[in-house]
Amino acid sequence: MADFAAVDVIRAKRDGAALSDAQVDWVVDAYTRGQVADEQMAALAMAILLNGMTAPEIARWTAAMISSGERLDLSAVDRPTVDKHSTGGVGDKITLPLTPLVAACGAAVPQLSGRGLGHTGGTLDKLESIPGWRASLGNEEFIAQLRGVGAVICAAGAGLAPADRKLYALRDVTGTVEAIPLIASSIMSKKIAEGTGALVLDVKVGSGAFMKSVDQARQLARTMVELGGAQGVHTVALLTDMSTPLGLAIGNAVEVTESVEVLAGGGPADVVELTLALAREMLDAAGLPDADPAAALRDGRAMDAWRAMLRAQGGDPDAQLPTAREVEVVRADESGVVAQVDAYGMGVAAWRLGAGRARKEDAVSAPAGVLLHKRPGDPVRAGEPLFELRAEDADRIPEARKEAVRAVRIAASAPEKRPLVLERIS
């Protein structure tokens, strides 16, 4: 591999030049090995944020991130493999019912998931509210569970895209998280390295999402779809609304409870709608277009796969989930129609209650969170419950209440209904 001076690579991107393949390969490898210092990579990340990258640059950067570690071989799995990635939102528990549902329909789902940060929740945090469940699996366990159960939700192993792990932590503290080339390469390097044959992306749009506008979300989705195709992974993206929380539960244990309701054939209509929309996309991408995920929810196959998946990772599907010591119900002070339940505001409220973390090393509270009693479009009378706040520590409730109250708006008439799936990109 050619050798470069880090400062020359930084200057090139600072001045708007496209980095060569050799420069990209060198800087990613050298940073992973510690030859390029954090402050140098921070400067390069800021230059990328400000000046962008061409499509070939992003593709090469992603390939270099993948090459920084191992790439799992799932050829021993005797089902088609397909994964899903969400860019994160409030009340977004879709991975929990979706993974066993798609497995129940004949595919294998190697779902590598993460933890929550700020106002968005993390799938691993939610599942860890189930007694005994463990997030860490070795590669052999991972493949054996895919072969046996067809569904795995776990943390990414240390050997997958180590360059991304290091760069992600740096972006978080240097104001460069928003760079679309770096977001796209971060997500896709991990997903491609896990070895899946197909991938469906759920790119969130709205106040509770990372991407606030449809144009931003579309740009990110198109970039990731192209990156997947370049690496031989059939990739499709849905842009979905995140202006309102998904479902009625926001937190960890409360979202597990709601997910089980969906697997039992019930649950909030929006959670069911998005779970089925993504399941159909995943099954189509896996070459199983005739499978019927709605039938697998009705007949109990999805629930069976959920229970088997939990048991395989040490979890007890029948265990009592932790409950909050402190519960406060907030009631409407006027009558009308709920015009808004802002996703960001409710996400911040759940975070203040202890359901989220400010730093990656922080602990989260399993029982903390928000339960909505009303959603946009619902009529409400003065004195009726709007939502309830749950916490282990009563001192957390006042600030959370302020955030949550600001997030709800009551009006004289119902808001215009916004579709949940906004666009499909393939």
Residue showing tokens 């009303």: 374
Bridge partners, residue 331, by sequence: 385
Q: Which two tokens stand for residue 134?
A: 């463990």
Amino acid making up residue 182:
L
Contact 347, 246 (CB under 8 A): no
Rounded Cα distance, 30 and 36, in Å: 5
Q: What is the set of active-site residues?
A: 85, 164, 171, 186, 190
Burial label, 287 (beta-carbon count in 10 A; 0-12, 13-18, 19+): middle
Residue 361 and residue 412 in contact, taking contact as beta carbons nearer than 8 Å = no
Exposure class string for 33-55: b at 16+ Cβ within 10 A, else e: eeebeeebbbbbbbbbbebebee
* Residue keyed to tokens 């569970």: 145
Question: Shortest CA distance to 19 belongs to which of 67, 70, 69, 64?
Answer: 64
DSSP string, 383-398: TSEEEEEEESSGGGHH
Kindly state the tokens that stand for 169: 């932590």
Distance CA 254, CA 260 (A): 10
**Nearby residues of 209 by Cβ (< 8 Å), 6 or more positions away:** 87, 88, 89, 217, 242, 343
Phi, psi of 83 (to 5 degrees): -125, 170
Strand-pair partners of 327: 390
The token pair that represents 257 in the structure block = 């409870």
CB 74 within 8 A of CB 196: yes
Phi then psi dihedrals of residue 112, to 5 deg: -90, 125
118: left (phi over 0), alpha (psi -120 to 50) or beta: left
